Copies of this chain bind each other. A is one copy, B any other.
Amino acid sequence: MWLRPAKGRRDAPLTVDRIVAAAVALLDAEGAGRLTMRRLAERLDVAAPTLYWHVKTKDDVLDLAVDAIFAEVPVPDEDEWTGAIRALVLAWRATMLRHPWSPPLLGRPTLGPNVLRRTEFLQRTLIGAGFRGADLAAATHGLANFTIGSALTQSTWQHADIHNAANAHIRANADAYPTLAAHDHLDHPDYDTLFRQGLDRFLAGLAGALRNT
């Protein structure tokens, strides 16, 4: 009774921003599988159904969390278009890898302001470089898809134990997969340089197509 911790009159009012921030922290710490409305509420020192005053469903929380981390991607300030795009894409990828739960969540429509800001910049830069029409669309989508795909697979395979188990499995079935077993397809890949190299190839292809128009 007297010890009752003075209900109401909380230190800080619950807001959507605080919920999203807590969700990102929880996702970073424990992964997508362990994000629960109850756990999220617990982190905020609040009862679970209370969250639904600020948020409509759990999916909303996920969408907001995805957009929130995209705010970390700085919009580059560079003149030369390949440099600008390289900078954007690398930062974008780095953010997704910092939050490995995010790539699989891109399988839902994401239209948050931070995501769109990035797409806007990408499109504008490519137009500035001279891309138009189908070439423009192909370049935009291609770069985005390449980046997303890379982040998705890397965030899947970067855990050492999964990696080693995969290699063991391949070597155990070396007769079925001779090339993979022989060439160490999955051995110590330096994902950073791998991505950079693939990106360079793609940009080279784009530049070549640009010259031919």
Contact = CB atoms under 8 A, between A and B. Distances in A.
Contact of A145 (B140, B141, B146, B179): B146
B119 A180 contact: yes
A150 B149 contact: yes
A interface, over-half SS: helix
B206 A201 contact: yes
Contacts of A13: none
Interface stretch (A22-30, A39-47, A71-79, A151-159): A151-159
Interface in A170-213: 170, 173, 176-180, 183, 185, 189, 193-195, 197-198, 200-206, 208-209
A49 to B, nearest CB: 22
A63 interface: no
Nearest to A209: B201
Interface residues of A, number: 64
Contacts of A178: 120
Nearest to A100: B107
Contacts of A147: 149
A114 to B, nearest CB: 11
Interface string A109-144: 101010011011001100100000011111111101
Interface of A: 103-104, 106-109, 111, 113, 116-117, 119-120, 123-124, 127, 134-142, 144-150, 152-153, 155-157, 162, 165-166, 169-170, 173, 176-180, 183, 185, 189, 193-195, 197-198, 200-206, 208-209
29 contacts: A103-B107, A106-B153, A106-B156, A111-B166, A111-B170, A116-B170, A116-B177, A120-B176, A120-B178, A123-B183, A127-B179, A127-B183, A134-B193, A135-B197, A137-B185, A138-B194, A139-B201, A141-B150, A141-B189, A141-B194, A141-B195, A146-B202, A147-B149, A148-B152, A149-B149, A149-B150, A149-B152, A152-B152, A204-B204
